[in-house]
Amino acid sequence: MRNKSIRICLPFLIISLCMGYALGGDLTQNEAVDIFFQANKEYQAAQIEIAAKREKEALEKFDNAVQLYNQLIESGFENGQIYYNLGNSYYRQGMPGKAIVAYRKAEKTLPRKADIKANIDLLKDDFKDKESLFRLPEFLKTLCFWYFFLNLNEITILTIYIYLGFMTSILLLIFFQFRWLKNMSTIFAICLFVLVVSLGIKIYCEYSFEKGVVIAEECKIRYGPGEEYEPKFEIHEGAEVRIEEQRKGWYKVYAYVDIKDDGNEKEKKDSEFKKGWVAKSKIGKI
């Protein structure tokens, strides 16, 4: 598990916490900053206990850190660094499912933090269930680097700036018929088109459906929303799912993992076979 020293830019943290406060958090800005650094202190102390092979003391400090990070989140103070640190704490406590939930939330705002992906991949290597998701070729990720390099807010801001640049170049063309202005407006138009498409895809991927992670050691996917329905198949902690429907304490999910056909579903499509109902308490929403 990659685990660099916990560092965060104080101005960025204060801005993020102020945003949480503006959304109606129960904590003041100063209280939130104090809790964040207190949580980091507990986490670092736990690391020292691990190095000294005092496992019991380490677990207690990790638990304190988790409670403090969750206190911030529940009060409306959220940012990628908080979720990343929370994920590290859950990992050290032996809760890989909750760790994946926190890492995925951190990934949304910190897409350039390589440690997040490395930690997720490291955890998934030990999971019982292997994902059957289609993975984009690396050359495509390189070609469309801005999409994977920037988060949703950053792409939105960049799109606004490019739009303003495009409109400015058009207005200038009305008064000055310079060739370089025409070339510039063409470049702005192309960039704007690419960014608008990227923004649309980004919004669709993040808001068109909900995702979750199994946080229970074992999770039975049933034919219907209730214990009276027979299990359809079983997945394990850390498996990721798409949430398609909610009903009285149950989620209808699609499992992003390889499922062994029990022989009764051969005539059904693979996509239908991987769908079923699971208790909400066993799923952590991303």
Inter-CA distances, 77 with 32, 127, 231, 249, Å: 7, 31, 39, 27
- Report the phi/psi class of residue 249: left, alpha or beta, with left for phi > 0 and alpha for psi in -120 to 50: left
Instruction: Measure the CA–CA gap between 254 and 43, rounded to whole angstroms.
Output: 35
Residue 141: per-residue pLDDT: 83
Q: Whole-angstrom Cα distance, residue 6 to residue 157?
A: 28
- What's 131's DSSP letter? B
pLDDT, tens digit, 9 for 90 and up, residues 9-61: 445 455 555 554 444 457 788 888 889 899 989 999 998 998 898 989 999 99
Which pLDDT belongs to residue 189?
96
CATH topology assigned to domain 210-285: SH3 type barrels. (2.30.30)
- What distance in Å separates the CA atoms of residue 25 and residue 32, rounded to the nearest whole number? 9
Domains 10-124 and 210-285 share a fold: no
Closest CA to 214 of 136, 92, 123: 123
CA–CA gap between residue 104 and residue 110 (Å, rounded): 10
Say what the pLDDT of residue 76 is.
Answer: 84
Q: With contact defined as beta carbons under 8 Å apart, do 1 and 103 qualify?
A: no
Arithmetic mean of pLDDT, 169-192: 92
Please tell me the distance from the alpha carbon of residue 124 to that of residue 97, in angstroms, as a whole number.
10
- Cα 214 to Cα 23, 129, 168, 243, 256: the distances in Å are 29, 11, 50, 11, 11
For the chain, what is the mean pLDDT? 86
The pLDDT-based confidence of 2 (bands split at 50, 70, 90) is low
**Whether the predicted pLDDT of 267 surpasses 60:** no
Residue with tokens 């440690």: 115
User: What pLDDT, in 10s, does the model give residues 235-265?
Assistant: 999 999 999 999 989 999 999 888 766 555 5
Q: Poorest-confidence range of 17-31, 63-77, 132-146, 263-277?
A: 17-31
What per-residue confidence (pLDDT) applies to 258? 83
Q: Is the pLDDT of residue 269 over 50?
A: yes
Alpha-carbon distance of 158 to 147, in angstroms, equals: 11
Cβ neighbours around 201 below 10 Å, total: 13
For the chain, the structural domain boundaries read: 10-124, 138-207, 210-285
Q: Retrieve residue 125's tokens.
A: 């290597």
Mean pLDDT calculated for residue range 72-84: 88
Rounded to whole angstroms, what are the CA distances from 2 to 5, 27, 69, 147, 273?
Answer: 10, 31, 20, 25, 36
DSSP summary character for residue 275: E
Task: Give the rounded percent of residues in the chain with a pLDDT score beyond 90.
Answer: 57
Q: What is the DSSP string of 205-265?
A: HHHSSEEEEE-SSEEEEESSSSTTSPEEEEEETT-EEEEEEEETTEEEEEE-B-----SS-
Of 105, 136, 28, 70, whose CA–CA distance to 285 is shortest? 105
Residue type, 15: I
Q: Look at residue 230 and tell me whether its pLDDT is greater than 50.
A: yes
Whole-number pLDDT of residue 10: 47
Say whether pLDDT at 266 is over 60: no
Superfamily of domain 10-124: Tetratricopeptide repeat domain (1.25.40.10)
Q: How large is the average pLDDT for residues 94-116? A: 93
224 falls in which pLDDT band (50, 70, 90)?
very high
Percent of the chain surpassing pLDDT 70? 86
- Residues near 17 by beta carbon (within 8 Å), at least 6 away in sequence: 29, 32, 33, 36, 72, 77, 79
